[in-house]
Amino acid sequence: MQIGFIGLGNMGGPMAANLAKAGHVVRGYDMAAPMPEGVAAAASAAEAAAGADVVITMLPNGAILRAVADQVIPAMPQGSVLCDCSTVDVESARAVAEQAQAAGLGALDAPVSGGVGGATAGTLTFMVGGSDAAFATVQPLFAVMGQKAVHCGAAGAGQAAKICNNMILGVTMIATCEAFALADKLGLDRARMFDVVSTSSGYSWTMNAYCPAPGVGPKSPADNSYKPGFAAELMLKDLRLSQQAAEAADADTPMGQLAADLYRRFVEDEDGKGMDFSAMLPRFEKRGRG
């Protein structure tokens, strides 16, 4: 396929490189990041989109997505598909989809899970909103960039799935870190706690696959001085998106709000910026009840 790729940072760069390695013709545009191997540089987002079968975007937020959509949609051929892989607010995802459809294009919101490692290895999971036809067009590209693509429903459903998933992730990580800090104060050995919880009703992804305690369980960022796999500020972004969506939908999410408040304090007032989101454990270790 002819692919335009807008946004070639830590995630977009390796995704575009994998598409080029698979034999697709990829033209990329980014205001700052270098061109990945095999990707031809375009002078603008519109130039990258011109003549493309699929235009993929990987951008920081909904405002930038809307601005890029204004540039690329007029340049895209009728019947092509705009596939946004950013994590943005549901309202922006739906607005861009409506804009694309009004111009005779297909549109997908397809945020990802798997981080930079998954982008590099081609093992991402895509949560996709949009039409069946647009999903069928982009499915072969999802198969190159990832290991799974789930069609979640109409426009905005992919973003909804992503922020609901990551609200669970943020809340669960805080609970896991709190529990390890409590176990320390109760004199319980961390490895024994892991052995119990990982095979009991406290089982969770944050415990079993991404344990925040160094030297316990499978290797995780905790074993690398909490250098990020998934940075705390990115978790804060997703938790804020979840609360923005909850407010719009009149949904009661007290644990999601509390997690957002704690990560805000950790990132903005403490030393959490630039650290993995599991670095909540040393934060709780240092704190008492008050």
Q: Which residue reads 């895509």 in tokens?
A: 126
CA atoms within 13 A on the CB side of 87: 25
CA distance 197 to 189: 12
CA distance 46 to 71: 6
Helix (H, G, I), strand (E, B) or coil at 206: helix
Whether 51 and 23 have beta carbons less than 8 Å apart is answered as no
Determine which helix (DSSP H) or strand (DSSP E) holds 109, and give its type and residue range.
Answer: strand 106-109
Would you give the DSSP letter of residue 227?
-
162 catalytically annotated: yes
Whether 55 and 4 have beta carbons less than 8 Å apart is answered as yes
> Which of 162, 227, 237, 286 is flagged as catalytic?
162
Q: Which residue reads 């805000």 in tokens?
A: 264
Distances (CA, A) of 206 to 58, 63, 117, 212: 26, 31, 17, 7
Residues 6+ apart with CB under 8 A from 6: 12, 28, 29, 30, 45, 48, 49, 55, 56, 57, 58, 59, 68, 72
- Residues marked active site are found at 162
